[in-house]
Structure 1
Amino acid sequence: MTALDEPADDLGLFGPDSVTWRIHGTLLLAVGGLRALFLQALHPRAMAGVAQNSDFRDDPWGRLYRTGDYVATVAFGTTQEARRAAARVRGIHRRLRGRDPYTGAEFRVDDPELLRWTHVCEVESFATTARRGGVRLTDADVDRYYTEQLRAAELVGLDPATVPSSAADIADYYADMRPKLALTKDAAAAAVFLFWPRMPLRVGLAGARAGWMGVTGLAFGLLPTWARQMYGGVGLPVADRTATLAVRSLAGTLSVLPERVRHSPRVRAGLARARAAERQ
């Protein structure tokens, strides 16, 4: 099926009544994505797989764009767009291998444990950042979001039955995973790089770098206490309160931006299909 063959009223895997659209339709998702990267890097094999196979140091903005576009396509694209994007990602992951930083043993990048860790860090970061940023989500909404996101987990090759699908399940999952986590050299280097990446040549370096460091610092501040402490950060409750106030302030600023700035082309296309479907 080509793009021309897809039904104009195809609202994708989730649709306008989903919690996914409420969470993924805000620019706070970018902050949540950075938070997820800090978390994901604490899994030694997950971080090794990225460090040994990725071009993120040479092309950080391209890597971030491609990741963001994939997330937006799965959430707001048509069903076929989401499936095609996931098929491309699975095809890439299927070919990649990494070396364990401690044992030297070879592992597959698409190992279910690594896919599950990546998925959980991502969706928990999106939900937590949105909620702390002022998006009105009840406990039931959050659980519904995690359940909806089982569709995204299945797209990357996971058995949905093996993926945590509630806030309680995710809390238990993190508790089980923490003994396996560590701040490796690759993770520490990645964290430094997130704070100080190569800036695009066409932007004002001083202002852009200051703004980027502010957003990255906010994402870091939104991490769970145990994760901040693993990086050597502050674990006091005041740090959590400060981060929450900061992300709410950012959300207020972002809310007044025009739609063409607040939403990517993929999100705008999904919203346009939803409006067209309502008029039919």
Structure 2
Amino acid sequence: MTQVEPLGPDSLTWRIFGDWRGLLIALWAGSMQNMHPELGAGVEEHSRFFDERWERLFRSLYPIGGVVYDGPRARETALEVRGYHTTIKGVDTSGRRYHALNPHTFYWAHATFFVSTLLIAKHFMGGLTEEEKRRLFDEHVRWYRLYDMSMRPVPATWEEFQRYWDHMCRDVLEDNKATRDVLDLSRIGKPPFLRFLPDAVWALLRRPLHRGFVWLTVGMYDQPVRDRLGYRWTARDARLHRFAGRVLNAAFSLVPWERRYHPRARAGWRRALGKDPVDAPPVETPPRNLPPADELDSPTHYVPAALRTMPSGSTQRSKETAT
């Protein structure tokens, strides 16, 4: 294995990727990933994501973020993430073979993470200069090397990446069931931090939240993706979208700096700044985000070792009724 220096606190990626504002593009990232034919087929045939959407989202943030923020352990975390994809393979409904570790498929998922940093900064952090975009591109290549995957699909320059992205959006991505399922929040259950909310109240809130998040997501799509999915986007929508981004950016300026970051990212910052020991163990997901008890041993799931031995009853989550 080639030694790769992990990203550190001097990188732009550290400043952007683990910020909680990244949750605002979760719907964008999930739908863009699933529009890839092979990735979408893998989700449709192997994932129970739609049975535990919130838990899967919040659980996945830990290892995905760890590849950026785990410092000397980042490569180990990257190989763990790669390992979750080993058994995801098959033949889709059109007779096409797929494998999650196909280098082009795996890189597409990473490309969406890279573009996520661009979009978070563009829409919710005040924007980026062209020099900063190039810097983020170089950092995403270094970040991707940690997975020890083939580098053949990775564009050599920022200009080549822009052509690659445009080609994928225009010629490769598909409107498929996995994508439409991601975008359908009409029956989504309550997130774990709102379990105290009465079901009737959540039922009232869910519809405007569904419309709002889909609208926010459509505003971040490239036009060819909007066209493929049949979304209309007007000049008025664009103005409102920019205004919403400025409001969110202003609101986050009031949040204490450390609290702007996901726990895994925050732990990385604390180690880098000398606030915690450099050998402090990585922060892991809490039990509330675990997969269903009968899937704790699945090779496709991230489950911290300390939680794999918990009694099955302690990992059960209350089921939310979609009303």
Q: Kindly report structure 1 stretches of 4+ aligned residues shifted beyond 4 Å.
A: 210-213
Q: RMSD across aligned C-alpha pairs, in angstroms?
A: 2.5
Structure-2 residue corresponding to 1:100: 92
- Per the alignment, in what secondary structure is the counterpart of residue 50 of structure 2? coil
Distance 1:29 1:159 in 2: 27
**Structure 1 residues 43-62: aligned runs within 5 Å:** 43-62=36-55
Q: SS of 1:160's equivalent?
A: coil
Contact 2:28 2:221 (C-alpha < 8 Å) held by counterparts: yes
Q: Give distance in 1, aligned partners of 2:68 and 2:93.
A: 34
Answer yes or no: is 1:18 the counterpart of 2:14. no
Q: Structure 1 residues 63, 213: CA separation in 2 closer, same or farther (over 3 Å shift)?
A: farther
Alignment of structure 1 residues 1-280 onto 2, 5 Å: 13-80=6-73, 82-102=74-94, 104-160=95-151, 162-164=153-155, 166-177=157-168, 178-193=170-185, 196-200=187-191, 202-204=195-197, 205-206=202-203, 209=206, 210-211=208-209, 214-259=212-257, 261-276=259-274
User: What is the DSSP-based 3-state SS (H/G/I as helix, E as strand, rest coil) of the residue aligned with 2:111?
Assistant: helix
Shift of 1:56: 0.7
Q: Is the 8 A contact 2:79 2:148 kept in 1?
A: no
* CA distance in 2: counterparts of 1:129 and 1:142, whole angstroms: 12
Equivalent pairs, count: 263
Contact 2:18 2:262 in 1 (8 A): no
Conserved? CA contact 2:44–2:177, under 8 Å: no
Structure 2 distance, partners of 1:263, 1:208, is 26
TM-score, structure 2 normalization: 0.73
Uncovered stretches (5+) of structure 2, i.e. residues with no partner: 276-323
Is the CA contact (8 Å cut-off) linking 2:75 and 2:147 kept in structure 1?
A: no
Local SS of the residue matching 1:246: helix
Cα gap change, 1:232 to 1:203, in 2 (>3 Å): farther
Kept in 2, the 8 Å contact 1:143–1:165? The answer is no
Partners of 2:187 and 2:156 lie apart in 1 by: 34
Q: Deviations over 1:24-83 (max 9, x none)?
A: 242222223332212122222211111211121111112111222223212222221x22
1:158 and 1:88 map into 2 onto residues whose CA distance is 13
Contact 1:99–1:105 (8 Å) recurs in 2: yes
Q: Secondary structure at the match of 1:227?
A: helix
Per the TM alignment, residue 172 of structure 1 is displaced from its structure 2 partner at its CA by: 0.4
Letter in 2 for 1:158: M
TM-score between the two structures when normalised by the length of structure 1: 0.83
Alpha carbons of structure 1 residues 111 and 161: separation in structure 2 relative to 1, 3 Å: closer
Q: CA 1:272 to 1:207, structure 2 compared with 1: closer, same or farther past 3 Å? A: farther
Alpha-carbon spacing, 1:166–1:33, altered in 2? closer, same or farther (3 Å): farther
Determine helix, strand or coil for the equivalent of 1:98.
strand
**Equivalent-residue separation in structure 1 for 2:259 and 2:211 (angstroms):** 20
Offset from partner CA, 1:144-181 (integer Å, 9 cap, x none): 11111113322334333531365422320123222222
Using the alignment, how far apart are the partners of 2:243 and 2:141 within structure 1?
31
1:117-151 Cα deviation digits (max 9, x unpaired): 11112211221231222345211111111111113
Higher-Rg structure is 2
Distance in 1 (CA, whole Å) between partners of 2:271 and 2:17 is: 16
Q: 2: distance between equivalents of 1:208 and 1:73?
A: 33
**Whole-Å Cα distance in 2 between the matches of residues 261 and 214 of structure 1?**
24
Q: Distance in 2 between matches of 1:101 and 1:120?
A: 25
1:110 is displaced (CA, Å) by 0.9
More helix as a share of residues? 1
Cα distance, 1:101–1:244 mapped onto 2, change above 3 Å = farther
